[in-house]
Amino acid sequence: MRRIIPVFMVLLIPWLAACSLLGQRAEAPPSPTVTATAVLPPNTPEPVGTVDLGLAEPVTQTRPTLTVWIAPDILNASEMGTAVLQQQLNQFQADHPDINLIVEPKAVNGQGSILNYLRTGRNVAPVILPDLITLPTDQLDIALNEELITSLNGLIDTELLGDLYPAGLSLALAEDQVRGFPFVLTDMPHLAYNTAVYSDTIPLRWANFIQIPEQTFAFPANGTPGATLLLQFYLAEGGSLTNEAGQPALEVEPLAAALERIGMGRENEFVLGQSSTLGTLPETWRLLESGGATFIQTSAEQYLQNRNGELPVDFHAIPGPQRSLTPLVRGWAWAISATEPGKQTMALELMTTLIEAENLAQWSEAAAFLPARRSAYDFWPSRDPYVPFARRELAQARPHPLGPNSKMIIVLENALFDVISLNKTPQEAAEEAVAALQE
């Protein structure tokens, strides 16, 4: 059974990630490598190296150790983000000289992933396992069901949960269980456009948007972001993702209508035919920079990372059938993997420090992520026009219902490619997609 320890409260720990890259000062003694005395199974991944926090005090074996595993996506988000995280973690260590804080980078996919390591190491080498981890929110359910993490029920202050945007709260909860605490919401789609080429008002309706004269729009019609755009249109047309039996399914008419809308932009050459060769958002951004397109599909992270470059860019919600499309977002969460009450208490205390609204705001702004807590935006730059936009979009955002490699995403991607490349009509592509999903 899952063990729930009554603790003060739980918080996000995004900044732990930066520990891995934290400043490595030459005069600081090297952090010890955590090793196991037990013999690991053949398929157990090798332990990762620890990170030097640049602290004055060396790590000792006489104090309790708090071990944190951070995904590289979070850890290496940006140099500025790493620096902010280092500062916050160093302060936590200074405020808690009675513990050893060890932070290690760890992948979330593949044989050497966090969950795989927890599965193989818990019974044979618990000494090397973490107490606190970062996970993509779509892995929380698996982790909790396999008892690799602890339910946070009774640990998190209800005010903290109430401060999450609706999508973040949905990502945290499942069957009355708080699986983890989302600290950032990711992949929020929107437009980026070259203001040196176009500076007028952008319509909220797709039919009007694709009629903007002498301008073009590009998006990754041959990749997951394009499939997500099609999914947004499909849901806006009233489409469902399951049949009456609760099985994954698509409906022909809403899908055909969604493909028809996008296809209209392709027919009048507002949507670039080159979109069928694009599979990623970085490819579309390069097209924007080269002047090959006026408007592109982007994500919040990509826009925040690139908006201060030489190209004059602005942002806007993606137009939809009647109004702008509802954003679909993913996220990252902190989860407690410690099984000992004392370790859980330490992990919760660190999380509480790092998820504090001002700390989360400082790190997320530096790392170019959108924080999942509403109050964190109170500490972002007050004159940044992106802040009210992000707040509006996240207030209506929904959790992305499909995994990036799910069969339905692949089916949608194929249908979109066929329409943008003019290989099939929207009706033909929709019918084939529905049939393909049933195979």
The domain spans of the chain are: 14-186+330-386, 189-326+402-438
Mean pLDDT of 43-62: 48
Whether 10 shows a pLDDT value over 60: the answer reads: no
Terminal Cα distance for the chain, rounded: 38
Q: Under a CB-based contact definition with an 8 Å cutoff, are residues 44 and 193 in contact?
A: no
Determine the Cα–Cα distance for residues 40 and 55; give it in Å rounded to an integer. 31
Paired residues of 322 in beta bridges: none
pLDDT of residue 56: 43
Mean pLDDT of 382-404: 97
Determine the Cα–Cα distance for residues 411 and 382; give it in Å rounded to an integer. 42
Whether 231 shows a pLDDT value over 60: the answer reads: yes
108-112, 252-256, 420-424: least confident range: 108-112
pLDDT of residue 44: 39
Determine the Cα–Cα distance for residues 188 and 369; give it in Å rounded to an integer. 10
pLDDT of residue 177: 93
Determine the Cα–Cα distance for residues 180 and 10; give it in Å rounded to an integer. 9
Whether 28 shows a pLDDT value over 70: the answer reads: no
Which among 60, 7, 13, 66 has a CA at the least distance from the CA of 32? 60
Whether 202 shows a pLDDT value over 90: the answer reads: yes
Position 88: which residue type? Q
pLDDT of residue 330: 98
Q: Under a CB-based contact definition with an 8 Å cutoff, are residues 172 and 333 in contact?
A: yes
2/84: higher pLDDT = 84
pLDDT tens digits, one per residue of 273-292: 999 999 999 999 999 999 99
Give the 3-state secondary structure percentages of the chain, helix then strand then coil, rounded to 5: 40, 15, 45
Mean pLDDT of 37-56: 41
22/338: higher pLDDT = 338
Mean pLDDT of 129-155: 94
State the pLDDT confidence band at 58, using cuts at 50, 70 and 90. Answer: low
The top-level CATH class assigned to 189-326+402-438 is alpha beta
Whether 19 shows a pLDDT value over 50: the answer reads: no
Q: Under a CB-based contact definition with an 8 Å cutoff, are residues 437 and 251 in contact?
A: no
Angle between helices 407-420 and 426-438 (to 10 degrees): 160
Whether 16 shows a pLDDT value over 80: the answer reads: no
Whether 12 shows a pLDDT value over 60: the answer reads: no
The top-level CATH class assigned to 14-186+330-386 is alpha beta
Coil vs helix vs strand at 191: strand
Determine the Cα–Cα distance for residues 65 and 87; give it in Å rounded to an integer. 19
374 half-sphere exposure, CB direction, 13 A CA radius: 14
Mean pLDDT of 224-240: 98
Question: Could you give the percent of the chain with pLDDT greater than 90?
Answer: 77
Q: Same fold for the domain at 14-186+330-386 and the one at 189-326+402-438?
A: yes
31-45, 301-315, 402-416: least confident range: 31-45
Mean pLDDT of 146-171: 94
Question: Could you give the percent of the chain with pLDDT greater than 70?
Answer: 86
User: How many residues can be counted in the chain?
Assistant: 439
Whether 158 shows a pLDDT value over 50: the answer reads: yes
Structure tokens at 421: 């490349």
Q: pLDDT averaged over the chain?
A: 87
pLDDT of residue 62: 73
pLDDT of residue 408: 98
Determine the Cα–Cα distance for residues 49 and 112; give it in Å rounded to an integer. 13
Determine the Cα–Cα distance for residues 413 and 377; give it in Å rounded to an integer. 34
Determine the Cα–Cα distance for residues 247 and 272; give it in Å rounded to an integer. 35
Task: Give, for 324, the enclosing helix (H) or strand (E).
Answer: none
Structure tokens at 253: 């008419």
Coil vs helix vs strand at 40: coil
pLDDT of residue 60: 54
pLDDT of residue 37: 27
Distance (Å) of CA 134 to CA 31, 68, 89, 103, 407 = 21, 8, 15, 11, 26
77/304: higher pLDDT = 304
pLDDT of residue 20: 37
Query: What is the CA 257 to chain-centroid distance, rounded?
Result: 29
Alpha helices in 334-375 (DSSP H): 341-355, 357-367
pLDDT of residue 195: 97
Mean pLDDT of 144-169: 94
Indicate the pairing of strand 328-336 with strand 181-186.
Answer: antiparallel
pLDDT tens digits, one per residue of 386-395: 999 999 999 9
pLDDT of residue 61: 61
Paired residues of 324 in beta bridges: none
Q: Under a CB-based contact definition with an 8 Å cutoff, are residues 74 and 114 in contact?
A: no
